[in-house]
Structure formats: structure tokens, C-alpha cells
Structure 1
């Protein structure tokens, strides 16, 4: 995905802070199983080595805060619905956009989502490659197709109206996909997290419409994720960064997010939208009285 230029600027490794590292019991068990590293200190050193290498490629906040170690998708209210869809709908394509290292897609596969129906995309191919280093697997042992591209670029993902009937052509083999537009109307589930808040309001609408055009018209097809939110729609100002820069984030509230999808992106009454605010954890201490909110949401076709 495209990101604001301030995030792209080279930043020093002194930004990295070991105190941000924390794995709860479920995350620890997942990383032990995935990496084969059962010594906690060895696992920590391994994760920190990948973090350092990746941060020099792309100094993203999610890398600095160890967000890539969190099992976020698996803790969404709609996660069980996602797994049920993958197990019960034949050929249910699951697309993750902004996949980064691939922790969420690996967790979904570990929990039973058919690997052969998964595909991922990110604007930065190097991060997906770091995922193989992080999880000690390979494109041969974890053969989920990766498609590099910017989902705001119409030549990569062209917004089209939501499908009301099945596409006239069959879904392409996932390994052959070069542009996400090739999947329009064929995707049963889409996950993207920590993405929408990177863009101003008009680009968030553009992206939402582009995602809607990918979604299968079948009842139960879904889009889910999280991004920064606020109790009232507006701009979260003065989010302080280590280099004393500030990023203003446009944020929806749960109510305006529901209104966007049910009535603007999709015709009113054709989707069920769930959205709730949760306090964003991890990272550096907050200023006194400051709360960072994450908007956790799902959109399901009726």
C-alpha cells in the first residue's frame, strides 16, 4: 500500500526499543510452532534480528512496535466466521492486503483456512521475503502467492461497482495473478489491517470501493480488519514520532464507518457492518490522558 512520505524517510536504528517486545501465551506458542525455536531467549533474538533488518528496508511503525508479532486477525469477532467460510465454501479465495511479514495469513492457515485458496499482496515485496526469514519457511513450504502492487493504483486494482451476480469468467489460478483486478468478483474474504488510516478521507473511500469490487456476491462474503479510529469522526492530530515529526490521521468513528459501507460503498441494506473501538496497545508510553483507538470491523454481504 502507499504510505505517507514521512514514513518512507530513512530513520535510525536507535528508534528500535527492546522494551516494546512482548508475546502473550498464545503468540509465544504460535511462534514456537512456526519457527521451531522453543527457547524463549533464542526466539526473542531471532525476532529482533528480523525486525532490525526489515526496519532498515522500511521503517514502519508496525515493525518498530513489534506489531508483526501480534495475532490480531485471530482476535477479531469475525475470525470464526472467516474460518467457517474457508472450510465450508469450496474454493473460497482469501486475500490479505498489506500482508507485511504474513503473520496473520499464517495463523489463519494454521487454524484451518485452506492454504491453496490464499493469496497476499503488499506494496513492498521485501517485507514478504522477510516473513520467510521470520517464520523459517520458504516459498516452497508456504506456497501462498504474493502479488506486489499499490491497491490505490487503478492499473493494479481498478474500482468497479460491487457484483450483484457471479462474474462471467471463472477465477484465475491464484499463482498466475499479477494484478488484483483479475480477482474482481471472485474473493470470498479480504483482510487488511493498519492500512486505511494511512490515507485521507477521499482515498479511504476509493480503497473501500476497490475492495467492494473484489468481493464475491455470494452471501457471507466478507471484508475485515482494523485501523486507527476515534469516538467521533475527525483527524487525530499530533501523533508524535521519535524524530519529533507528527502525523495527522483521518479517522472514522464506528458509526460513520458503518454508514460508509452500508449505503455508500454497497447499496443500503445489502451488507451487515460490525465496528467497535478498542484501545490500541503496544509501543511507547502514551502522554498522560492520551488514548489511541483502533477500529475493529467487518463487512459481510447479506
Structure 2
């Protein structure tokens, strides 16, 4: 989830007291019955008021690491991955494909990984990656777990660092070289052609158009050439390929997002894989209304139109 080029200390968002007050207000915290049951089961906290207090305390800590809009909006409390159209395919592969490997890239606090494991994908075939290891550690606090009680391997690194995830040719035949235990991996470099499913949500939107293309190429090289292997996720989109402003409380300026439409997103992946007929790209744009964080921080009532691009790219 964090941008791979964000390493300077002065890039960290400073969250003001007024924003913190907003973050702790009722309107940012809303669990539906499935989400509440999930968090109660995973944390062991059965009292709704205590659960809310616990989650908001973790959120405040996460904002100190980096106040991404998805953290500000408590998106890590949603079960969004389970509501993506391709989620059933993910669980089916985990059940039916021997040794299938699943990677959650840009995993943040690890809520999606935990949902996948709870729903039956073999834990020893799951791993997660993010630029900031502090988020993964905070995820253990959120779910009251340890590396022993939840031993899913976590690999920290910059997706644009060639030592961590080098550019590579997209494999066309199955890899026969065996992998070391996932817990021994320190980068994604050895995983080329080995992954059955990759999940990347709220991740591509962090980069400009050229970097999104580079990222797509690098993730495509990790994917197994076995038919049915796929990459999926969701992020900000637009009816036409363009730049939008995401309003966040960062000096009240906002941040630019390069957004694709379903047609241009399909073209990007077909280009990455070398043309039509190699992958099936499914992309859907949904219009939703959400509160504008920047204006909320200014104690004004405002909403903005937001388009979410939900997508999957499947090897044929």
C-alpha cells in the first residue's frame, strides 16, 4: 500500500489535532455485522465499545506511521477483499491447486491476508509484502496476535528496487525450480513465475501512469503462467483516463492520483502481457459518494464523487 519511493522523513503526513478529533468521531467508524463478527473473533474482544476503542487506538498509531486516506477512512476495518468479484476464484485455487501461492502486495495492517486465511486459503501458502514493516507489526497489535500465533511470512521492500523486485520477462512455461520456505525469503526476486494469485488494492493509485505500467510489468512477471492464475484488486478510477485530486489533510493541499478507466486499464494489461488473447481483463467502474477528508478537517460539510475501479487479470 505505501508508495515505494516514499522514504524521506519529511514526506510523512503530520496529522493535526483537529484531524485526530475527526478521525475519532462516529462517522469514521462503522462496522457492519460481518465486519464486527470478524474483528470480535480475531481480536477476542466481544464488547462493541471496547472493540471500537481498540481499533481507533490502532488507527491513531497507524496515522503516526503514515496517514494514508484509506487509514484515515478506516478502510482496514472493511472486508473489501471478500466482496471483490474474483474472491471466489482465489479461494477455489487455494482449495484445488496444489501448492498455490497467494501474495497480498501493499498489505498495510494485513486485514485482507487474515480474511483470506480465515476463509480457507492454506496459511502456509500465503504471504504479504509492504514498504513499511511497522504496519505489519501494528497489524499484530490490531489482531492481538504474534508471529507465532499468525505465522504468515511478511517481506518488506520497495517494489521499484531491483534488488527487491527486479524487472523480468513474463514466463510462458511453468517454473521447475523449487522455492525455499516462504519464511526464508527476504525479497520477491525469486518468486518470478511462481504465484497463483496476487492481490493489489489501493496500491496502483499511489503512482503516476508510468510507474503504474512498470508495476504492472513487475507483478505480471511474478504470476504463474498456469491458466487461471490471476492478479486482482481495486483502486481509484475515472470514467476517462485522467488525473484527479484526492483531498487529504496534508496541509490542506491534496494529492494527485493518476486514474485509469476500464478501457485504458484493459489496454495496459494487454500491452504488458503482449497482446490480446493471453489474459482476460475484467474491469468495472463504480461511482460512489464519500466524505471529503480535507473539507471535513476544515469543519465543513462536503462530499466528493469517487470512482472505484474493480478489476482482475487472468492468464488464459
Normalised by the length of structure 1, the TM-score is 0.94
In 1, the alpha carbon distance for the partners of 2:222 and 2:137 equals 25
Deviation, 1:26, is: 1.1
Q: 1:283 to 1:31 in 2, by over 3 A?
A: farther
**Alignment correspondent of 1:296:** 310
Matches within 5 A, 1:1-302: 1-2=3-4, 8-16=12-20, 17=23, 18=25, 19-237=27-245, 239-242=246-249, 243-280=251-288, 283-284=291-292, 290-302=304-316
Partner Cα distance (1:148, 1:22) in 2: 30
Q: Deviations over 1:107-165 (max 9, x none)?
A: 01000010000010000000000101001111101100000001121211012121100
Matched residues in 2 for 1:143 and 1:130: separation? 15
State whether residues 197 and 223 of structure 2, in contact with CA within 8 Å, keep that contact through their aligned partners in structure 1.
yes
**Structure 1 CA distance, aligned partners of 2:5 and 2:57?**
24
Alpha carbons 1:262, 1:268 under 8 Å: kept: yes
Root-mean-square deviation (CA), in Å? 1.9
In the aligned structure 1, how far is the partner of 2:213 from the partner of 2:137? 30
Instruction: State the TM-score, normalizing by the size of structure 2.
Output: 0.90
Cα distance, 1:241 vs structure 2: 2.1
Count of aligned positions: 301
Unpaired stretches in structure 2, ≥5 consecutive residues: 296-300
The CA deviation at 1:246 is 2.0
Runs of 4+ in 1 over 6 A off after TM superposition: 285-289
Separation in 2 of the partners of 1:33 and 1:221?
Answer: 31
- How far apart are residue 15 of structure 1 and its match? 1.8
